[in-house]
Structure 1
Amino acid sequence: MMDLPLTRIALPTGVELDVAITGPADAPPLILLHGFPESHRTWRYVMAHFADRYRLIAPDQRGFAGSSKPEGVQAYQPKNMVADLLALADHLGVDTFTLVGHDWGGAIAWMAALNHPDRVKRLIMANAAHPFTYQKALFDDPDQRASAQYITEMRRPDFEEIVEQMGWDAYFDSRFAEPSAVSRITPQERSIYLAQWQTPGAFTAMVNWYRASPLIVPPLQGEIDRPAYLDRPFPPVTQPTLLYWAMDDYALRPSLLDGIETLVPDLTLVKAPGGHFVPWEQPDALIAAIEGFLAAR
């Protein structure tokens, strides 16, 4: 494992990101995007393994840890994070790259791959829901709908007050509800998480990712209008894609894989046991899958 120094980079999108960069400057670039409620440290094991032969670039995305935290929900629309990604690549002189994503980072990666195939050469995803299958499952799979109700809670305007009343330690224990995750978080890692969450403005900014998302989460009882696009063809992801899916994820259910082969024709799908936080819960298995994918593609 490595603790990487961070480089502060100002982008024309109006934010400054802290970015961990390692590996030979002339090596093939991999840009790694973390999810909620984490930081570049999500990728610490992956980066340590591949640093001898790839240029690894892992930002703390806008709103997280020490990166900029613009005010207002609209600043956290997914299109803004895609713009940050491309601006970061431009700043570092990276034309095309392999994009790696987990959780929310995967959501941004899917969007970038669909809208900028000239920039994204390959995709490597770890428990990152495709936008079509996620929205479809929220309407069609009762288990996935139930598992996503936390999003509705997080979108409440008083959610920060709820967490403050709960206390940071209690919130931490509820956020990492899976025993597989809790057992792998050392006291040092726990203190890092808590410090990052309590950075001024960070928690509201992190939650604003959910508030700004166009994702519709139906209530457990009753029905709401189904998005029309779910009944129309959806554009395919054209890049070679590795999708590593830990099947015991409490937040993202196996139904999110239904129809994925049609949406991602050039797909390498790896199903494995384990929980949501794949990059550090089971880094060896993920690294092995990435090694095989990069060697083949």
Structure 2
Amino acid sequence: MGYVQASDGVKLFYEEAGSGTPIVFVHEFGGDHRSWEPQMRFFARRYRCITFAARGYPPSDVPEDLDSYSQARATADIADVVTGLGLGKAHIVGLSMGGFATVHFGLDHADKALSLLVAGAGYGAEKQHEAYFKGVSENVAKNFLEQGSKKFAETYALGASRVQFQNKDPRGWREFADQLGQHSEIGAANTMRGVQARRPSLYDLEGRLRQMPVPTLVVSGDEDDHCLQPALYMKRVIPACGLLILPKTGHTINLEEPAAFNAALAEFLAMVEAGKWLPRDPRADPGQVMRTD
């Protein structure tokens, strides 16, 4: 464990385990660097695994200036971790907020990306829900500041796409909620306001996504409603993209269904490293139902 200094001077805490080709895990808003423990333990057998705490999440620095938080800055922080640890190129795996940053990493730093796994990415991306999402984001930020993380975590952890985790694995969910309750109130509020509420819609990135060459796997739970359409959209516009939908599953995919998540990621990495995860065959025309000539 240690710290990497981001290009704007913010210190980012990281942990690593294993050796080999590097994988960088990028956590969601409700999690932190600890949220990838099932993946760190599994993939460290064959890979050099790195998980880091985003700015605003102790032990990383918690800047008090809102302007220190943005989608661009979250993306640059991944690049700073890759560069600071001398990784050269890495597989990038992100969930939710980390999934959005992973997409942007593929757009802005394709030369540093071996592959992208984008899980649970979609909140706020749907055009019809943009205003609603921004309003909810502001309410979440205020609740963290006014109630404190420990108290508000009990509400936030019972969201419509979190209860699946609680029902399947109450001990795992309890650990997730307890860790959320340890987050910095200022860091959570600034992250919600600066990164979540201000990030561009995935649909506004279509032109760039159609040109992105990085092998990509998009993963969503089928009960994570506001990620389903964005997941299908990314499948359709990113050239070398696969889509996995896990049944009866919510938002906290890697913790809720660790065995299925790990198996899918392992197969994806093997295909990428074998040079077999390619752009869609042009003969697979989505406009064709059946071939007649």
The bucket for the TM-score relative to the shorter chain is 0.7 to 0.9
Cα 1:49–1:167 shift into 2, 3 Å: closer
| Structure 1 residue 259, shift from structure 2 partner | 3.3
* Partner residue, 2:40: 47
Paired residue type of 1:138? K
CA distance in 1, matches of 2:240, 2:191: 32
Which one of the candidate residues 198, 201, 205 is aligned to 2:190?
205
Paired residue type of 1:265? P
Output one character per residue of 1:50-69: Cα deviation in whole Å (capped at 9) or x when no partner: 11110111110111132111
1:18 aligns with 2:1: no
Paired residue type of 2:103? W
> Is the contact between residue 141 and residue 190 of structure 2 (CA under 8 Å) also seen in structure 1?
no
> Is the contact between residue 153 and residue 181 of structure 2 (CA under 8 Å) also seen in structure 1?
no
> Is the contact between residue 12 and residue 61 of structure 2 (CA under 8 Å) also seen in structure 1?
yes
> Is the contact between residue 100 and residue 118 of structure 2 (CA under 8 Å) also seen in structure 1?
no
RMSD between superposed Cα atoms in Å: 2.8
Output one character per residue of 1:36-78: Cα deviation in whole Å (capped at 9) or x when no partner: 1210122110111011110111110111132111222221111
> Is the contact between residue 73 and residue 212 of structure 1 (CA under 8 Å) also seen in structure 2?
no
> Is the contact between residue 73 and residue 211 of structure 1 (CA under 8 Å) also seen in structure 2?
no
| Structure 1 residue 242, shift from structure 2 partner | 1.3
Which one of the candidate residues 3, 7, 23 is aligned to 1:8?
3
* Partner residue, 2:263: 288
CA distance in 2, matches of 1:163, 1:84: 25
1:278 aligns with 2:253: yes
Query: Per the alignment, in what secondary structure is the counterpart of residue 118 of structure 1?
Result: helix
1:138 aligns with 2:127: yes
Paired residue type of 2:236? T
Output one character per residue of 1:189-244: Cα deviation in whole Å (capped at 9) or x when no partner: 4333212245xx3333332334662447xxxxxxxxxx9x58x7444221111112
| Structure 1 residue 8, shift from structure 2 partner | 2.6
Query: Per the alignment, in what secondary structure is the counterpart of residue 45 of structure 1?
Result: helix
* Partner residue, 1:83: 76
* Partner residue, 1:3: none
> Is the contact between residue 19 and residue 57 of structure 1 (CA under 8 Å) also seen in structure 2?
yes
* Partner residue, 1:194: 181
> Is the contact between residue 244 and residue 269 of structure 1 (CA under 8 Å) also seen in structure 2?
yes
CA distance in 1, matches of 2:227, 2:175: 30
Paired residue type of 1:180? Q
Which one of the candidate residues 34, 38, 56 is aligned to 1:63?
56
| Structure 1 residue 269, shift from structure 2 partner | 1.2
Q: Percent identity?
A: 22
Equivalences for 1:87-236 in 2 at 5 Å? Answer: 87-129=80-122, 135=125, 137-139=126-128, 145=129, 149-155=132-138, 159-160=141-142, 164-165=146-147, 168-177=150-159, 178-183=162-167, 184-186=169-171, 187-197=174-184, 201-210=186-195, 213-215=198-200, 229=204, 233-236=207-210
CA distance in 2, matches of 1:159, 1:78: 17
| Structure 1 residue 165, shift from structure 2 partner | 4.6
TM-score, normalised to structure 1, is 0.78
CA distance in 2, matches of 1:55, 1:194: 29
Structure 1 unaligned residues grouped into runs of 5+: 1-5, 140-144, 217-226
* Partner residue, 2:285: none
Query: Per the alignment, in what secondary structure is the counterpart of residue 262 of structure 1?
Result: helix
